[in-house]
Structure 1
Amino acid sequence: MKQAPFIAVEGPIGAGKTTLASMLAEELNLPIIKEIVDENPFLAKFYENMDDWSFQLEMFFLCNRYKQLEDTVTQYIDKGNPVISDYHIYKNLIFGERTLNGTKREKYRQIYHVLTDDLPKPNIILYIKANLDTLLTRIEKRGRPFEEGMDTAYLEQLIKDYDDAMASLAIQEPSTVIITIDGNAVDFVENPEHFTEIVSYIKELMK
């Protein structure tokens, strides 16, 4: 049986993933899966010392996202109902490959594949691509204390990592539709026409 539409909104920190996913969920009357961020007890410590806290941080995210994905399968995918998420589980590898080293990285890779390889993945990805200035502006606007003073070099590298990851997903999952949104030019919050265009495209894909 063909999998029901499983839409993921992705992009680097500050791209507007949750905002767009929430707007689409409301417009299309879809259930939404939001990643747990603020509840991660290691997040503030990670930004203070990435080397010491990266493994704990990434494992917390991976386990929580795995549980959310498992629940999503039971509640929606297995029943043939569409759903939207403000992340793709693959983001765990994007961040893990950047923050972890040596044996910790290898252990993390193994755990990731054990948990996720047999679970359904999104078949539609909205990738919000944005440059450093755009991301920094949005990060400052949302005002999360633990993101203050974020290393811009880390954020710049994440931008490249996301581009590479989307290219890899296009090869690994050729049936997945990846839509790239220019986050520097497209303002789906302030410009209703931009949002309407995105909605129209998603509706066509969901038919």
Structure 2
Amino acid sequence: MPKPTKGPRLGGGPAHERLLLANLAAALFTHRSIKTTETKAKRLRPLAERLITFAKRGDLHARRRVLSVIGDREVVHVLFTEIAPLVADREGGYTRITKVGNRKGDNAPMAVIELVLEPVTPKVKSSKKSAVAAPAAEPVADEPAEAPAEGETAADQAAAEEAAVASEQADEVVAEENAEK
């Protein structure tokens, strides 16, 4: 559990802050995105991420610990059945805070805190050894290999082939995302 902050609490005493953050977390899990002050969003982030980590575990003890914080069974059910499977591959960073300017009435800095539910794409490791070895490991197509053009080396051709493969993979990812929608 994170260390409690020293100094003034959000809206009053520590009990009121705990309830306020629990209500903000419940609203975040229900609506997937909420608009609040920057300070509240920054204080909400560690709590929400910890609750999502419990939801990813998915066992009874984790459910009861989340229920002790939030208190609303419907919100806990949504967290465990809908949100946790969407972030199962993500190792952290389940929330995103975006500053949106100041509130009209009291000029308080506002922010939108939202859940990051996009699927995680693994980073492609690019090094000179893997770039040269990748085309050699691929199965040979029916077409004969083209000879390098004048002034073009085998390394240049391998890099061009790797770029073509990467663009095909990116097109497949976009097609999958569009199919999911």
TMscore range, shorter length? under 0.3
Instruction: Determine which structure has more spread, i.e. the larger CA radius of gyration.
Output: 2
TM-score after normalising by structure 2: 0.25
TM-score after normalising by structure 1: 0.23
Q: Which has the higher contact order (CA 8 A, sep 6+)?
A: 1
